Amino acid sequence: MLTAITTFAQQSSKKINIGLVPPLSSNWTSASRDTNSFSLNAIAGLSASETGFALAGFGNFVRRNADGFLVAGFMNTSAGGHGTEIAGFGNFSKSTSGTQVAGFGNFSKKASGTQIAGFANSGGNVSGMQLAGFMNVAKNVKGVQISGFINIADTANCQVGFINISKNGEMSLGASYDENQTLLLSLRSGGKFLYGIIGVGYNIANKKDVYAYEVGLGAHIVRAEPFLLNAELTDESLLNFKGLTYYRAAFAALPSIKLGNRINLFAGPSFVYMQTNSSEDILRHKKYISSWGGKNGDDFRAMYIGYNAGVVIRL
């Protein structure tokens, strides 16, 4: 009985731990059974739980709950995180209900709170927000996924990225034509309100800058089927891989009419900002709202009114 009481006291008491790497620390061989209110480790820290502040040069390894503020040069691991975890590379947990910030990625089977990563988040069932430089992956998302490129989920309330994949989302493939005589084949994917755009194409007017790509974000402003009104903010570039480039940023208002269950036709005006160092791109337009540059080696810049038109097929 006395041994059991002593063991329970060791496991539940809160300690201050200072060390180099387990077992070279003030908690010595009992580190994996101790709960710390403060932990400072030059290389790595090992504990049963953390309730306060934990700092490690390489990693904090918590067997049960991390309820405090964890900072590690490389990684944090825990069974459950209910505080804030910051790591140079990644945070790994079975479940989290706090905030995870990582230079590369956050990986959890269940996340309730916020995950912020330089590259990727994987949150299982997510209730909160995932924000990543490249991609977010989850099962069911009750919140929002925001990424620099792609979001993937079984179901999601809101996804913001160039490619968005979910069972309750929308995905379509479209062909469009603009005032530059650029033909684009673009994928549009997202939810009921926001969607991402990514596409490739070819300019039929130019001799040099002929290859095109497009990325952007769009929003369904009005849904009164069969009539729709979408707004799109896109970045388009023409290039030939030899130094000549054309850049086009446009905001377009695109009325659309739905034909059947899968086909939409759209056309509308766009407000365009362009930048180029190619003479064939400059000479294409006769009227500009405003223009400047193009001398002494500077890129030519201008603003004007353009248009977009095309067809979209829902996948």
Q: Do 123 and 269 lie in a common domain?
A: no
Single residue among 165, 183, 210 that ends a domain in this structure: 165
Q: Do 178 and 265 lie in a common domain?
A: yes
Q: Do 302 and 200 lie in a common domain?
A: yes
Q: Do 179 and 135 lie in a common domain?
A: no
Closest Cα partner for 9 from 32, 40, 33? 33
209-245 per-residue burial string, b: 16 or more CB within 10 A, e: under 16: beebebbbbbebeeeeeeebbbebebebbbbbeeebb
Q: Do 192 and 158 lie in a common domain?
A: no
pLDDT range class, residue 94, cuts 50, 70, 90: very high
Mean pLDDT of 8-24: 73
Mean pLDDT of 62-78: 94
Structure tokens given for 52: 């306060």
Q: Do 64 and 198 lie in a common domain?
A: no
The whole-chain average pLDDT of the chain stands at 91
Contacts from 114-120 at CB under 8 Å and sequence distance 24+? 117/90
The number of beta carbons lying within 10 Å of the beta carbon of residue 174 is: 18
Q: Is a pLDDT exceeding 90 seen at residue 123?
A: no
* pLDDT at residue 293, as a whole number: 87
Phi-psi region of 297 (alpha: psi -120 to 50; beta: other; left: phi over 0): left
Single residue among 111, 137, 165 that ends a domain in this structure: 165
DSSP β-ladder status, 120-122 and 290-293? unpaired
Q: Is a pLDDT exceeding 80 seen at residue 7?
A: no
Q: Do 160 and 178 lie in a common domain?
A: no
* pLDDT at residue 57, as a whole number: 96
Q: Is a pLDDT exceeding 90 seen at residue 179?
A: yes
Mean pLDDT of 251-276: 95
Residue 187 corresponds to which amino acid?
Answer: L
pLDDT range class, residue 4, cuts 50, 70, 90: very low
Q: Do 84 and 154 lie in a common domain?
A: yes
CATH of the domain at 294: 2.40.160
As a whole-number percent, the residues of the chain with pLDDT over 70 amount to 95
Q: Do 51 and 191 lie in a common domain?
A: no
Q: Is a pLDDT exceeding 50 seen at residue 270?
A: yes
Q: Do 175 and 108 lie in a common domain?
A: no
Mean pLDDT of 47-61: 95
Q: Is a pLDDT exceeding 80 seen at residue 1?
A: no
Q: Do 115 and 192 lie in a common domain?
A: no
In the chain, the number of structural domains is 2
Quick: pLDDT tens for 187-232: 999 998 999 999 999 999 988 889 999 999 999 999 888 999 999 9
Single residue among 165, 194, 223 that ends a domain in this structure: 165
Q: Which residue range forms the structural domain that includes residue 241? A: 170-314
Q: Do 10 and 142 lie in a common domain?
A: yes
Is the separation of the CB atoms in 46 and 22 below 8 Å? yes
